[in-house]
């Protein structure tokens, strides 16, 4: 279902709801809404609507549903699986104007935020109450709270606080027919039926339009110590990660960058990694199996002794280590992790395969995946990094000269993941990018249940029709 039913009458009706300035039809203006962050997924739309609050969102959905116009909800458009752009000519519902941060509820340590609030704005808002949001990720300046719930975003602190679903204590959403469902009291104990917040978390815009979210908050952990550790092999890094998880109670992040990605980000930053060495040709190509970990401890009191002792106990596993305490020095270490996505994007248009492996198979996977990729596309270049503390590896694959690799690479890698008992999507979702492989992780019975839920909430199939459900 596309937007064939869109005409001047419909545009007029929508303009009366949200104001003329917020109904966009000029292709020059809508161009920014139809291409995703990676530039791999590009579509087209006859219409972008930008409601300002829940009531407007509901009224817009009633009008679009009556005209049977399919809709792609969009937040910051930083999603990496082609789920946020109109690949089938759908209308785009941009949620960024729902950007109200309500006062922090200091007694409950919770806050209610509009779906269009960016993560960075949410972080700044709650920091004034000495509290923090449990999920953090590098796209924080653009990614929205609504998009983060819709994708069940993970990021760098999952090992401490869980992913986005674990932060949600209340939700408000507009269903496909314009009905508003709202449950925002935020009671920690509330067994009064189905948990719509949990259902909408990870639904990728297919079940409802999230308009407001009530989040559980956490105490800030202002004292920090960060270590960059170099390893000869992925197996050593995996063993060290397990040891650090056991011994550092204040462990806040545990991230990995593997050799090829470290070479690329170093050349992007114009810096050599402060520890370890690169056995590569300087262009991101490498035959080395080295790995780096960033381990960050965070607490209310100085955690540097705890992290320092744990790093010392790693002993022969580590080739070299650097520890930083001051913000600027810590940021210099983090740069080698936080800039990897940008470095890859600057090098070309990657296929992004975000996967989780069981800990026992992780090193086998990171060592073996290059052969799986080059067997399909001999010129493809794998670049590996990710949230190792969660078993989450981002396998990014570039073709020669930054072109896309062969499409068959995706299936080969995802089958390899599934054979090892892993998940074909750790935190980015299924979107359109992994639709064809969802069956690798989900049984027919599960997919039938997904379909039944979708039909119950969106019988006409208007919400993000090309995403998640095969
Ligand atoms: C540099 C970079 C780093 C990243 N790091 C991480 C990371 O560490 N961990 C991680 O999990 N992700 C990461 N991402 C991916 C991305 O930031 C997340 O998926 C984020 O949650 C998307 O939020 P968004 O507002 O940009 O959503 P969008 O990209 O706009 O949309 C994503 C999906 O959510 C749906 N959606 C958006 N808003 C709503 C709404 N209000 N109601 C219903 N559905 C909605 C869309 O239809 C789409 O299916 C990264 C991306 C970049 C570019």
CA nearest neighbour of 195 among 204, 207, 205: 207
pLDDT digits (tens, 9 = 90+) for 168-198: 999 999 999 999 999 999 999 999 999 999 9
pLDDT tens per residue across span 140-153: 999 999 999 999 99
Q: Considering only CA atoms, which residue is closest to atom 20 of ligand 1?
A: 148
**Ligand 1, residues 79, 180, 433: which to mutate, most atoms within 8 A of Cβ?**
79
What is the distance between the alpha carbons of residues 112 and 171, in angstroms, rounded to a whole number? Answer: 9
Residue 3 has pLDDT above 80, yes or no: no
- For the record, the structure tokens of 266 come out as 């170093």
**pLDDT tens figures, 18-50:** 999 999 999 999 999 999 999 999 999 999 999
Question: Which band of pLDDT confidence, cut at 50, 70 and 90, is reported for residue 286?
Answer: very low
- In this predicted structure, the answer to whether residue 294 has a pLDDT above a threshold of 60 is yes
The confidence score (pLDDT) of residue 280 equals 56
pLDDT at 423: 98
On the question of pLDDT at 288 being above 60, the answer is no
Q: What percent of the chain has pLDDT over 90?
A: 94
Annotated domain spans of the chain:
8-94, 110-219, 221-338, 348-457
Give tens-digit pLDDT for 295-340: 999 999 999 999 999 999 998 899 999 999 999 999 999 999 999 9
**pLDDT number for residue 287:** 44
Question: How many Å apart are CA 330 and CA 323, to the nearest integer?
Answer: 8
> For a substitution probing ligand 1, which of 143, 149, 182, 429 has the most ligand atoms within 8 Å of its CB?
143
Architecture of domain 110-219: 2-Layer Sandwich (3.30)
Domains 8-94 and 348-457 share a fold: no
Pick the residue with more confidence: 387 or 274? 387
Please determine, for residue 1, whether its predicted confidence score (pLDDT) is greater than 70.
no
Ligand 1 atom at minimal distance to the Cα of residue 427: 11
Summarize pLDDT for 400-454 with one digit per residue, the tens. Answer: 999 999 999 999 999 999 999 999 999 999 999 999 999 999 999 999 999 999 9
Give the CATH fold of the 221-338 domain: Alpha-Beta Plaits (3.30.70)
Which of 98, 113, 148, 151 most suits a substitution to test ligand 1, by most atoms within 8 Å of the C-beta? 151
Instruction: Provide the pLDDT for residue 327.
Output: 96
Taking the centre of ligand 1 as the mean of its atom positions, its distance from the CA of residue 167, in whole angstroms, is 16
Distance 151 CA to ligand 1 centre (A): 6
Alpha carbon distance 35, 168 (integer Å): 29
In sequence order, the 6+-apart residues with CB closer than 8 A to the CB of 398 are 344, 347, 348, 349, 350, 380, 381, 383, 404, 405
For residue 393, give the 3-state DSSP assignment.
Answer: strand
Q: How confident is the model at residue 281 (pLDDT cuts 50, 70, 90)?
A: very low
Query: What lines the ligand 1 site, CB under 6 Å?
Result: 37, 72-80, 83-84, 95, 115, 137-139, 142-144, 146-148, 150-151, 153-155, 204-205, 209-210, 341, 427-428, 464, 467
The interaxial angle of helices 259-269 and 327-338, nearest 10 deg, is 120
Q: What is the DSSP string of 395-431?
A: EEEE-GGGPPPPTHHHHHHHHHHHHTT-BS-SSS--T
CATH class given for the domain over 8-94:
alpha beta
User: pLDDT averaged over the chain?
Assistant: 95
Q: Which of 228, 298, 294, 255 is nearest to 391 (CA)?
A: 255
Q: Which two tokens stand for residue 394?
A: 């981002």
**What average pLDDT does range 123-130 have in this prediction?**
98
DSSP track, 242-293:
HHHHHH-TTEEEEEEEEHHHHHHHHHHHT---SSS---B-SSS-B----EEE
The pLDDT of 112-138, averaged and rounded, is 97
pLDDT at position 277: 82
Fold of 348-457: Alpha-Beta Plaits (3.30.70)
Cα 30 to chain centroid, rounded: 24
Atom of ligand 1 nearest to the CA of 73: 47
Using pLDDT thresholds of 50, 70 and 90, give the confidence band for residue 6: confident
Residue 275 contacts residue 281 (beta carbons within 8 Å) = no
Sheet of strand 320-324, all strands in order from the earlier edge strand to the far edge: 320-324, 223-231, 291-299, 251-258, 381-387, 392-398, 351-356
Are β-strands 48-49 and 91-94 bridged in parallel, bridged antiparallel, or unpaired? parallel
> Residues 418, 356: contact at Cβ < 8 Å?
no
């Amino acid at each position: 279902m596309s937007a064939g039913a869109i005409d001047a009458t419909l545009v007029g009706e929508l303009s009366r709801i949200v104001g003329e300035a917020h109904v966009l039809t000029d292709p020059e203006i809508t161009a920014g809404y139809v291409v995703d962050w990676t530039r791999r997924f590009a579509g087209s739309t006859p219409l972008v609507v930008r409601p300002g609050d829940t009531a407007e969102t509901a009224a817009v959905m009633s009008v679009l549903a009556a005209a049977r116009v399919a809709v792609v909800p969009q937040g910051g458009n930083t999603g990496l699986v082609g789920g946020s752009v109109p690949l089938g000519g759908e209308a785009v519902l941009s949620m960024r104007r729902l950007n109200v941060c309500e006062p922090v509820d200091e007694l409950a340590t919770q806050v209610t935020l509009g779906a269009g609030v960016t993560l960075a704005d949410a972080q700044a808002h709650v920091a004034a109450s000495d509290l923090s949001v449990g999920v953090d990720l590098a796209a924080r300046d653009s990614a929205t709270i609504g998009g983060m719930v819709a994708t069940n975003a993970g990021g760098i602190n999952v090992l401490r606080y869980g992913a986005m679903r674990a932060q949600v204590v209340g939700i408000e959403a507009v269903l496909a027919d314009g009905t508003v469902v709202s449950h925002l009291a935020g009671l920690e104990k509330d067994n009064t039926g189905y948990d719509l917040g949990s259902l909408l978390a990870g639904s990728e815009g297919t079940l409802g339009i999230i308009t407001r979210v009530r989040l559980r908050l956490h105490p800030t952990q202002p004292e920090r110590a960060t270590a960059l550790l170099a390893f000869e092999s992925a197996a050593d890094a995996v063993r060290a990660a397990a040891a650090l998880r056991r011994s550092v109670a204040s462990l806040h992040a545990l991230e990995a960058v593997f050799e090829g990605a470290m070479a690329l980000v170093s050349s992007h930053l114009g810096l050599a990694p402060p520890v370890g060495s690169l056995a590569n040709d300087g262009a991101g190509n490498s035959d080395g199996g080295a790995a780096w970990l960033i381990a960050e401890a965070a607490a209310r009191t100085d955690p540097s002794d705890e992290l320092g002792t744990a790093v010392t106990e790693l002993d022969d596993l580590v080739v070299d280590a650097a520890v930083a305490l001051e913000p600027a020095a810590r940021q210099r270490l983090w740069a080698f992790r936080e800039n990897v996505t940008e470095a890859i994007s600057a090098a070309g248009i990657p296929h992004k395969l975000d996967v989780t492996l069981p800990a026992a198979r992780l090193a086998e996977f990171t060592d073996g995946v290059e052969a799986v990729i080059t067997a399909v596309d001999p010129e493809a270049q794998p670049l590996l990094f990710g949230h190792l503390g969660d078993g989450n590896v981002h396998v990014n694959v570039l073709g020669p000269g930054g072109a896309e690799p062969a499409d068959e690479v995706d299936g080969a890698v995802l089958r390899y993941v599934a054979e090892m008992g892993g998940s074909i999507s750790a935190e980015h979702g299924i979107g359109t990018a992994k639709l064809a492989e969802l069956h690798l992780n989900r049984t027919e019975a599960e997919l039938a249940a997904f379909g039944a839920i979708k039909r119950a909430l969106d019988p006409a199939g208007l919400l993000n029709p090309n995403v998640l459900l095969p």
